[in-house]
Structure 1
């Protein structure tokens, strides 16, 4: 932008300077020519009365450089600088009329001298290129220096103007980047032209509006989630009324998991989120825990679970809560969309570029279409958010979610997770979803 602004200023100034300097230089040249011609006429007029009385060695010397003086008589005598008898000199002798004209890049002045009824001598003064240039060079240099100074001043002013504009735009871009990174407290200090100040005011208004909308949504989510406490309390009372048995203990464990999830949702919804959080989790350990959690239901429904889990930990760029929700969403789909007794396979292997690849295969009917990961889409009565939660977790870690057909003919869900680093910043907009 700075270069473009300076270029536009220089182009406009060049047009103005050319429009101004060309006529000025022409006028300077013509003025110099007129002054040289007047000087030559003055010298010729001073010598004319003395033309008949001067001896060849008595011709006075003039201080002006570039001028040559000659006196030519009708009888062929020459006094001063040798010069050929041109047609102009012969015409001046015959007509007794003075004349001026251009010759060899200079100016020639011919002044006839009368003696009785006719003219018997001509005073010739010739101003060469040096004399012509001495009168115009200084003004030409001054004009060019004025043009160069004007261009330099214009460039400096354009540079200062561009620096001010770029500073205002840079401040605007920095505030926009902070807001895009989740710092909704960032504000633009309006500065610069009116248009940029207006954009800054609108950006501040947008940040305030987004912050209010997110707070309102968080409060509404917390309120809706809090309503689950009443049916959860009733469920706990019903479980307590059942005699102790393995099934009762599983129900209590399930109740505790649901209760923890509800509490976490309420806390996250009402907690003012920090602009940046860190996410790092061992996918191997978490996969082992979730498979063990779902193993009891698999045993009740006659499903065999095949595990392929590495011994060493693999740290990925995701929080434990998000990764747990993703595993539960994928495994719950197996139980919801396959018949009892259908086996499934869970594997975790290191990714090619770091991270990990989680695969869940089953031997069921597979996906009827590949729109299953579209948010809110479901072929059953579920919310349709399960695989979308897993997709968000994968994308926020730098990976992706793929669905397809398993080697056993059923469904396959692959979750590519990015590798964890020392510090993995996460946008608060992702954390608030």
Structure 2
């Protein structure tokens, strides 16, 4: 149940409660006033009838009527002049007093007109209360729907920002709590965009600044004499060059200048090309498929997933091709709980830190970025039989 519905129901319940309370109060006050007026009038008639009886004049009063209610008779015999309302289908109002030891003088009249007037008042109060409740409920519904729409707009903008649309804004109006919430969402989006832009600039600047000296190092390494030290330097320079290329790839994806060049390729062929230089990687193809995609990016994704599995898991790494679905599984301990939470909430973090699970390196970051460009789906889980598993689902045609 959304906020608008809750507000509308609350306003309707409050309106019904107020209408019922007002109706009961008016009914009670009117009933007492009617009864007091009728009793006073009938008591005056009784006093007049008593004077007429004492003067032997004719009056509408009766002596010891057969239908006298028992409470009236008991009260009069005690020396009290009383008025009494006899309820029933035909209500009757009595007034009585004792004129001798054995005689009770009474005056009575029908109370039906007052009962009908009170019933008519109740019907009027019910109708007015119902109309007021409907009008107030409609006003509450309008207010609730408006509040719900504003809150929903703020929530959807926050979701868009979380999904990477840093240009999304709410642009709130007003000064209430929802406006403050919307303004906070816009402020958060501005701050997040500024931080990400600064990070992108730093990433791109570092990569471009390192590219030239790394290229010079690669050229200089070729001039070294053969030997174990030279082999170590060559491997280090190769790793450094690969790291720089990874950082440049991230910078291009951050700047949204990466392009997708599609071809028709067999999934199994792309998998085998991706893991051609890796050891202890087993490829199984229960079902193959042909997809239209960017083979270079798919191979980069699979190569990064397999390398990550070898580096952080335990061999052998099994890659299963099931049509457009590719599963990469290692036989290590699986994703740690803290890292697993990061993968399923904010996604891979590009740089490692000293805090456990705070980063996953550039490999998974590049893989996730390539997946988004291709319109594919990449999910992570711990396999029921042990080990970490990444599942890549390729679309028939890329969306980027």
Q: Normalised by the shorter chain, which TM-score bucket?
A: 0.5 to 0.7
Contact 1:184/1:207 (CA < 8 Å) preserved in 2?
Answer: yes
Q: Which segments of 5 or more consecutive residues in structure 2 lack a partner in the other structure?
A: 225-233, 340-350
Aligned position for 1:33: 35
Question: Superposition pairs for residues 216-365 of structure 1, below 5 Å?
Answer: 216-235=198-217, 237-238=219-220, 264-271=249-256, 283-292=267-276, 294=277, 308=284, 312-313=288-289, 320-321=296-297, 323-324=299-300, 326-327=302-303, 330-331=306-307, 348-351=319-322, 355-358=325-328
Contact 2:285/2:321 (CA < 8 Å) preserved in 1?
Answer: no
Give me the TM-score of the superposition, normalised by structure 1: 0.58
Aligned position for 1:162: 144
Contact 1:326/1:390 (CA < 8 Å) preserved in 2?
Answer: no
Contact 2:84/2:94 (CA < 8 Å) preserved in 1?
Answer: yes
The more displaced of 162-171 and 15-24 is: 15-24
Distance 1:268 1:355, change over 3 A: same
Task: Provide the C-alpha distance between the structure 2 equivalents of 1:86 and 1:335, rounded to a whole number of angstroms.
Answer: 103
Contact 1:225/1:265 (CA < 8 Å) preserved in 2?
Answer: no
Question: Superposition pairs for residues 81-100 of structure 1, below 5 Å?
Answer: 83=66, 99-100=81-82
Give me the TM-score of the superposition, normalised by structure 2: 0.62
Contact 1:399/1:417 (CA < 8 Å) preserved in 2?
Answer: yes
Contact 1:219/1:270 (CA < 8 Å) preserved in 2?
Answer: no
Distance 1:35 1:390, change over 3 A: same
Task: Provide the C-alpha distance between the structure 1 equivalents of 2:20 and 2:326, rounded to a whole number of angstroms.
Answer: 69
Aligned position for 1:431: none
Aligned position for 1:199: 181
Aligned position for 2:390: 416
Q: Which has the larger radius of gyration?
A: 1
Question: Superposition pairs for residues 368-379 of structure 1, below 5 Å?
Answer: 376=352
Contact 1:101/1:109 (CA < 8 Å) preserved in 2?
Answer: yes
The more displaced of 7-16 and 99-108 is: 7-16
Task: Provide the C-alpha distance between the structure 1 equivalents of 2:69 and 2:311, rounded to a whole number of angstroms.
Answer: 121
CA deviation string 1:302-321 (max 9, x = no partner): x8987655783365999843
Distance 1:179 1:316, change over 3 A: farther
Residues 1:174 and 2:180 are matched in the alignment: no
- Quote the offset at 1:103 in angstroms: 5.3
CA deviation string 1:146-205 (max 9, x = no partner): 443443333233222212211211111121122122111111021355211111111111
